[in-house]
Chains A and B, each alone.
Chain A
Amino acid sequence: MAAPNRSLVAKLSLLVVGMFGFAFALVPIYSLFCKVTGLGGKTGGVYSYDASSAKVDPDRSVTVTFITDNSAGMPWDFRAETPMVRVHPGELTEVKFYARNPTDHVMVGQAIPSVVPLPAAAHFHKTECFCFSRQVLQPGQEIEMPMRFFLAPELPRNVDSVSLSYSMYDVTALAAADSKAPKT
């Protein structure tokens, strides 16, 4: 290969490798973008709530609706025991969810949250949630799962109702694969 071709091919190949890497770099970029903008309605991880310094806004009430559904093929009974609450921003509230494994084998479930309207997602803080970890249910076992949350007072003024949806996924196979694979 002639020298000018060789250096050009090297540069172009570098571009190709770079763009292949960029596709994978999109994964963290995307989750960062979602965190900043609330895209996808994802809520964050564990928040701490300090009752003494919390600023509760008693003049404002927001309706929070809880929606539950099962992903395709998930046989659990899964529902919110309180379908709807009215809360003041800054006030810590506890609600309970119910799940039962009606099958005759051990199953692992994972609940995935999503909030609409999207701008509210970044202000929906949970101090405790069953969605933070996988739930293992024995055959026929039923559980009551608490979820404690508060809405940040910075919640945009035009938001007067928020819906939180949980989709319950069957991750039995995924959990089995994870436990077999060496943790890195």
Chain B
Amino acid sequence: MSTVIESHHDDHGHDHGPPTYGLTRWLFTTNHKDIGTLYLWFSFVMFLVGGAMALVIRAELFQPGLQFVRPEFFNQMTAMHGLIMVFGVIMPSMVGLANWQVPMMIGAPDMALPRLNNLSFWILPFAGSLLVSTLFMDGGGPNFGWTFYAPLSTTYAPPSTTYFIFAIHLLGASSIMGSINIIATILNLRAPGMTLMKMPLFVWTWLITAFLLLAAMPVLAGAVTMMLFDIHFHTSFFNAAGGGDPVMFQHVFWFFGHPEVYILILPAFGVVSQILPTFARKPLFGYASMVYAVASIAFLSFLVWAHHMFTVGMPLAGQLFFMYSTMLIAIPTGVKVFNWVSTMWRGAMTFETPMLFAIAFVVLFTIGGFSGLMLAITPADYQYQDTYFVVAHFHYVLVPGALFGIIGAVYYWLPKWCGRMYDETLGKIHFWLSFVSVNVLFFPQHFLGLAGMPRRIPDYSIQFTDYNMLSSIGAFVFGFSQLLFLFVVLKAIRSGAKATDRVWEGAHGLEWTLPSPPPYHSFTHPPKVTEAEAHS
């Protein structure tokens, strides 16, 4: 009897496409794949915008002296580049990956809250345009760095700061709604048999990231709300003259800001933990320890914020506490790197493009992690504070870290998403161009910082010229290499060879049991979670 009903259901409910086509398909869509695609394209557009700003910065820093832009505009470029890359590129593209992958990896038909999903995406283009539009307003856009320390962002801020505040509110609301959706999907829509400790690591990292977002983003919303009050309603949260304290801004900001950096990197940890076992043809080494490591990193991230502000003046006990707690994070991170290397150890490895990006991630992220450890040493930090060493450090964890994770994920899952393979040769060219240029771009910045070149300054002393030229050359090669990435993706979508359902010989996981491209609604019937398809 039940078979009859099921087959009847199948005839009507299986594999129907989007309800409408054209613009309204995208505007009104509640489908996780459509929304994932929108997130990813939005991030790519913002990536080009934020990247263009980075190239303005690097063009200006090619030589000492002022060549192309006024210092005021340079400041707006450094601030907007950071804001766009953090809030407009890395965060939305990670949410895009989660939208595409989480339902397919846990055996769900769609996200748990599809309409909320539509809203969380469609806020973004408005928030993004609001943020970018400040550049064209009187007095220019944000010129106080992506960290927008008060009183630079209150007393001395350009008038457009109010728009910036609302843009941050909207971006925050979008990621909070996205996180609620992801948590609800993971906790309530797993296929029978998909227990928490059988979930793929990408799903685990996103579950933990979503909780980090829920705890951290409201604090940022609080900080910008206080700024709004200080600017317009004569309160004195951060105004010393009225009894407030600008240093408190830094505490509130970094209480959000440090969990934020793990929000940016944890999903990339998840991606790498999917890619490495596939191409090493071995299960992930130390699955449970990976889960616990991510959870401890997330927990510790709330206890280390003041290591960003050692030089503001802090009791010795405070400096010691934040130094040791920061160094403690190196332990779970070390566990992860150890497990990734052990996964590859004696594996039957092949080096397709996603694998190349994943291996580069492991090596270069670790370099960024080590420079982070150097910065954690309080007495040494007094030398590194606000120099290019800090710039080199966080670009190493964010570009060959988070961004390589995202690019690797796109190469890894693109054949599944569109049913067509990308051009492997072009992919490898893209990888090698990116890999070499990213190091030419950021490695010399370590030396510049150690030699004392300050960050966020449009001019520098002539002894810094050689390394700055090298860095700028790397920047332009890296930037234009990403247009090749765009070409590879478009070529795959339009004319790539047909991909198999499994795509990669060593791939395990529920998403590979679906056809390529997958049906509009992934699993209308809960799949059987076999041992082979559980966490890979």
Q: Which residues of A does B touch, CB under 8 Å?
A: 1-2, 4-5, 8-9, 12-13, 15-24, 26-27, 30-31, 34, 37-41, 71-72, 110, 112, 116, 118-119, 167, 169-171, 173-174, 177-178, 181
Contacts and interface: CB of A to CB of B under 8 A. Distances in A.
B112 interface: yes
B242 interface: yes
B1 interface: no
B534 interface: no
A170 to B, nearest CB: 7
Nearest to A8: B184
B218 A26 contact: no
24 contacts: A2-B112, A5-B188, A9-B113, A9-B184, A13-B180, A16-B214, A18-B218, A19-B214, A19-B215, A19-B216, A19-B217, A19-B219, A21-B222, A22-B218, A23-B218, A23-B225, A23-B226, A23-B252, A23-B255, A26-B222, A26-B248, A27-B237, A71-B240, A118-B313
Contacts of A1: 113
A88 to B, nearest CB: 26
B183 A8 contact: yes
Given A23-B221, A27-B248, A71 B241 contact: yes
B105 to A, nearest CB: 19
Contacts, number: 108
A112 B251 contact: no
Nearest to B180: A12
A112 B241 contact: yes
Interface size class of B (residues with CB under 8 A): 35 or more
B22 interface: no
B102 to A, nearest CB: 15
A100 to B, nearest CB: 19
B176 A119 contact: no
A167 B180 contact: no
Interface in B219-254: 219-223, 225-226, 234, 236-237, 239-242, 245, 247-248, 251-252
Given A18-B218, A19-B219, A116-B313, 7 more contacts: A5-B112, A5-B188, A9-B113, A9-B184, A15-B215, A23-B220, A174-B236
A69 B56 CA distance: 38
Interface string B4-27: 000000000000000000000000
B219 A169 contact: no
Contacts of A5: 112-113, 184, 188
A20 B220 CA distance: 8
Across chains A and B, which 5 residue pairs bring their CB atoms closest together, nearest first? Answer: A23-B222, A169-B241, A19-B218, A20-B218, A177-B234
A71 B151 CA distance: 12
Contacts of A167: 240
Contacts of B218: 16-20, 22-23
B460 to A, nearest CB: 25
B389 to A, nearest CB: 27
Contacts of B314: 39
Nearest to A181: B234
Given A16-B214, A19-B214, A23-B252, A171 B315 contact: no
A19 B218 CA distance: 6
A118 to B, nearest CB: 6
A38 B252 contact: no
A40 B314 CA distance: 8
Contacts of B216: 19
Nearest to A71: B241
Contact of A41 (B220, B225, B313): B313
A119 B317 CA distance: 11
Given A9-B113, A16-B176, A41-B313, A170 B245 contact: no
